[in-house]
Structures are given as structure tokens and as C-alpha cells.
């Protein structure tokens, strides 16, 4: 067996990009140029980004589907697509582009702000969020609906009552609205600590998305790459090539939620048909 003389003994060899689940983080898809937080891509840019993925033999899917495929050894050609906050523009602009390219995605919504706007962003601009009817339309279109918490609160350092409300209660509300089992969570602001992870798992979720979670990286703190308007083909290619270097921490496929008797949230709600 040959060894690399330039690699320290016991050092982990970087894995190829296709061996690591790649998750892309979007927010709003709109024509607006007022974008102080760099969370908006135009419909045209989104289409070009999806076309680039397709040209590389990649297909965008929701996170739950991505993780199932990786667990079965079939994830090499898949990329996770996520849309945070549940903006109403997803239906008008993102959904048609996804359908054109044969993709699906996960939309992380805020059931405590349904039909309201992004009041948590002090600089604006104000963007409307999906209504209950909009959430059902997205789910019926084949997209996965996940929770982004109830009110878009920072969960690192949060108290027990807040953690339970933002994880378990938000899950119950989304299941009531959509009639589907909600298995994914996304930490607002990407802010995560061990207590937040424990709350998410206790609430019955199968996975959770972060941004860069460092040593907490795992099925309840999945790393993602933020996609911006400036991300052309060259920038996307660079993000993909750098993926093994940025994801230095172990990436277990799944830990699974706690057994039903130990959870704080319900899998199936009274009067809800889960499909």
C-alpha cells in the first residue's frame, strides 16, 4: 500500500465532491434589485443555475429525497435544493423553473408567520410569505415542506420553552396545514448549538439544515452552500470543487429521530391525513 508523504499520519484524505451531499441554500426568487442581505436571485439567474446543474449531470431534489438516496448509495447525481423562509414568490418564480428542469426542492416555512412578511429583516424590503393555501399548493406540486421554526427566532442559546415551541409546535402546525408528515427542520440564521439539535431530534424530525455547523455537522446540522445572484457557472463550479475542503468534519448519513415515546412532538395529528 502506498502512502502520501505530504499527508500527516492519521490525517483524513479529502473526499471527492460527489461523495459528500451538496445542499444549496436559496431564499427569495424575484426581480427586485433591493437586496441588502443578498438573499434574492432573479428567475432568469435561477434558470441558468439549474441549467448548469443539469449540464453537469446533476438533478436538484428535496433534502429528504437526497438523504434517502445517499443512504441507499444512489446519491452521486443529486443535489439538495432548499428555499428558506417560505416566500410567496416561490410559487410564481421558483416552481416553474424547477418544473422546467425536472427538479424538486425543500421549502422551509414559518407557520407562525403564514401570510405575513419578513418582519425579522430590519433593512427590508418587505416580502410576502406563503399563505396556508400557498403552502398546500407547494406541497401538492411535489415539493417537500419543512419547518424553519415558528417565528424565525435564533435558537442557539434559546430557553427550553422557546425551543419546544419553535420545533415541536411548528412541526405540528405545518402537518395540520399540509396534511403531510414534516421530517425536516432548518435553523434560522444558521444558528445552532447542541441544545437546539437535541430539541429538533426530540420533536421527531429526521434531519435539520444549518449553514456551516463546524464540529456539530451531521444529520441534525447539515451544511449548505448559500447561492446568490452573483453565482454564475464559474462560481458554482468553484463551490462544488471546494466542497470537500470546506466539509472537514465527519458526515454521518443519519441518526434518526428519537423513539415515539421519547418525543415532544406528534408524528400524526388528530384529524390529519398524512400522505
Q: How does pLDDT run across 29-62, given as a tens digit for each residue?
A: 999 999 999 999 999 999 999 999 999 999 999 9
- pTM given for the model: 0.86
Residue with cell 398546500: 136
Residue 143 has pLDDT above 70, yes or no: yes
Residue 102 has pLDDT above 60, yes or no: yes
* CB-based contact 101:49 (threshold 8 Å): no
Q: How does pLDDT run across 109-123, given as a tens digit for each residue?
A: 999 999 999 999 999
pLDDT value for 177:
98
Helix 43-55 vs helix 233-246: crossing angle, to nearest 10: 60
Q: Dihedral of CA 194/217/104/125: which sign?
A: positive
Please state the rounded mean pLDDT for residues 115-134.
Answer: 97
Q: How many CA atoms lie within 13 A of 137 on its CB side?
A: 13
Residue 18 has pLDDT above 70, yes or no: no
Please state the rounded mean pLDDT for residues 215-225.
Answer: 94
Share of the chain above pLDDT 70, in %: 82
Right CATH number for 22-254 from 3.40.50.10800, 3.30.465.10, 3.20.20.370, 3.30.960.10? 3.20.20.370
Question: Mean pLDDT in the chain?
Answer: 88
Residue 7 has pLDDT above 80, yes or no: no
Amino acid at each position: 500500500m502506498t502512502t502520501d508523504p505530504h499527508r500527516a499520519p492519521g490525517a483524513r484524505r479529502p473526499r471527492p465532491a460527489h461523495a459528500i451531499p451538496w445542499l444549496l441554500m436559496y431564499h427569495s426568487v424575484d426581480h427586485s434589485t433591493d437586496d441588502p442581505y443578498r438573499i434574492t436571485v432573479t428567475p432568469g439567474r435561477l434558470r441558468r443555475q439549474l441549467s448548469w446543474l443539469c449540464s453537469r449531470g446533476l438533478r436538484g431534489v428535496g433534502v429528504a429525497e437526497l438523504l434517502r438516496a445517499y443512504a441507499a448509495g444512489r446519491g452521486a447525481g443529486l443535489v439538495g435544493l432548499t428555499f428558506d423562509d417560505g416566500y410567496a414568490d416561490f410559487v410564481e418564480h421558483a416552481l416553474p423553473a424547477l418544473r422546467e428542469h425536472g427538479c424538486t426542492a425543500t421549502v422551509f416555512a414559518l407557520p407562525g408567520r403564514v401570510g405575513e412578511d419578513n418582519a425579522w429583516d430590519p433593512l427590508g424590503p418587505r416580502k410576502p410569505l406563503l399563505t396556508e393555501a400557498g403552502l398546500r399548493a407547494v406541497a401538492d406540486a411535489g415539493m417537500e415542506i419543512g419547518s424553519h421554526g415558528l417565528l424565525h427566532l435564533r435558537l442557539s442559546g434559546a430557553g427550553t420553552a422557546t425551543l419546544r415551541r419553535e420545533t415541536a409546535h411548528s412541526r405540528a402546525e405545518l402537518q395540520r396545514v399540509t396534511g403531510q408528515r414534516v421530517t425536516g427542520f432548518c435553523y434560522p440564521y444558521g444558528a445552532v448549538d447542541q441544545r437546539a439539535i437535541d430539541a429538533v431530534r426530540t420533536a421527531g424530525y429526521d434531519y435539520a439544515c444549518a449553514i456551516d455547523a463546524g464540529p456539530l455537522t451531521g444529520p441534525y446540522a447539515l451544511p449548505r452552500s448559500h447561492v446568490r445572484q452573483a453565482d454564475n457557472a464559474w462560481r458554482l463550479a468553484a463551490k462544488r470543487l471546494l466542497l470537500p475542503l470546506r466539509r472537514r468534519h465527519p458526515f454521518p448519513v443519519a441518526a434518526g429521530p428519537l423513539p415515539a415515546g421519547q418525543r415532544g412532538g406528534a408524528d400524526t395529528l388528530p384529524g390529519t391525513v398524512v400522505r
